[in-house]
Structure 1
Amino acid sequence: MVRRNEERRAALVDGAIEVLAREGARGLTFRAVDTEAGVPAGTASNYFANRDHLLTQAGARVYERLQPDEATIARQRASTGDRETYAVLMRELVGRISDFRTGYLALLELRLEATRRPQLRAVLTEQVRADLEANVAYHEESGLPGDATAVQLLYLTLNWLIVEQLTLPDVLSEAERERLVTAAVERMTTSPPHAG
């Protein structure tokens, strides 16, 4: 019974992500989540104490689903530590996030909602900070070029590139996006010349 409850909870949270992406935070109701998850009316209210609880669970689930699988991580760890490899990894990252379009759009909705909900803001802040710190630590261990600042700058740059791709996909072509990711990696991992 516990496993079934965990599966149902995951289905409800995934349903909440879909509702957030499609209808925004204002459209997120227990009834809408029940409908999206294909469960009887009233089910979501049995799993989540209130709407805030559902919002915070949705935020955590987006990050959980965006994590690369074990095969991708193993391949990344076995790759060489040059700029081209780094650019490939970043293009794959943009692709993986873009493939989970509803998750990223839901995350944008959650970020906007977090400006009005301190508890949600705290949860998202903790998750994003932990994710960024993990990315910096992974980068430092991997031997890829660049430092922590380069990782942070790429994080900020690629996030907006992804927003552009998901919300206004015709602004840049796929080839232009790939070229920009490669250029960002190259420029942010090249040490500036030292002033003499």
Structure 2
Amino acid sequence: MPPVNQQRRAALADAAIAIVAQEGTHRLSHRTVDETAEVPRGTTSNYFRSRDALLEATVARVVELHFAWIGGLRAQHEGELNRTTLQGILTSVLQEAVTTHRDRYRAMLELLLESTRRPELHEALTRIFSGAFELVQEAHRAEGVEPTEEEVHLLRVCYIGVLFGYVVMPETMTVLNAGDTAGALIDAVLAKI
């Protein structure tokens, strides 16, 4: 069997993300990915033999892109991670997630809903949030503070809520941009920790 073309595989998964972002998981199929990626019919099924495999690859690609992006942000702040830096990172992440990377995070929210019916998808997607909150714990520990599970939960709910609100209902979120909203909420939560 010839080696898998990883670039083609990633491009197909990117096309799947675009479909899920615009039309939901119900429209995700081998044919729609072939059409969106502008590849010969049957290409997607050569890479992902079943719809479940295609869904799993879409989730994996969302997670991969998220961690590559966050890894780059973390590298910019190497050695200076504290609560102030953390707030700046989380605020920036949320602002970019609802602007620059809007389709990716719309797809992620669609896939999270799908994962309530498909537990095999759930663990990979929740890694996005657990990874973010490892960063929260690391920043607090750098200042000699150990956040409780409840405090981390408050940040998680804040993060997901802002993300959902600005991705799903952007027209109602005109008073502040996502970064300012996130900054105010994160500041309020961090003040309790």
TM > 0.5? yes
Report the Cα offset of residue 104 of structure 1.
Answer: 1.0
State the secondary structure of the residue aligned to 2:49.
coil
Which TM-score applies when normalising by structure 2?
Answer: 0.82
CA gap of 1:133–1:7, structure 2 versus 1, over 3 A, is: same
**Which residue does 1:15 correspond to in 2?**
15
Per-residue CA distance 1:49-85 (angstroms, 9 max, x = gap): 21111111111211211223655222223436244x3
How many angstroms apart in 2 are the aligned matches of 1:96 and 1:32?
28
Higher alpha-carbon deviation: 25-34 or 85-94: 85-94
Higher alpha-carbon deviation: 24-33 or 181-190: 181-190
Aligned residues: 189
State the secondary structure of the residue aligned to 1:41.
coil
Equivalent pair of 2:137/2:146 in contact (CA under 8 Å): no
Structure exhibiting the larger radius of gyration computed from Cα positions: 1
How many angstroms apart in 2 are the aligned matches of 1:176 and 1:44?
38
Equivalent pair of 1:145/1:189 in contact (CA under 8 Å): no
For 1:42-121, what aligned pairs fall within 5 Å after superposition?
42-67=42-67, 68=69, 71-79=72-80, 81-83=82-84, 85-98=85-98, 99-121=100-122
Letter in 2 for 1:60: A
Letter in 1 for 2:96: R
Structure 1: tracts of 5 or more residues without a match: none
Report the Cα offset of residue 159 of structure 1.
Answer: 1.3
How many angstroms apart in 2 are the aligned matches of 1:90 and 1:5?
34
Structure 2: tracts of 5 or more residues without a match: none
Equivalent pair of 2:59/2:125 in contact (CA under 8 Å): yes
**Which residue does 1:36 correspond to in 2?**
36
After superposition, the CA RMSD in angstroms is 2.7
State the secondary structure of the residue aligned to 1:116.
coil
Equivalent pair of 2:63/2:124 in contact (CA under 8 Å): no
Equivalent pair of 2:82/2:139 in contact (CA under 8 Å): no
Per-residue CA distance 1:36-59 (angstroms, 9 max, x = gap): 112111001111121111111111
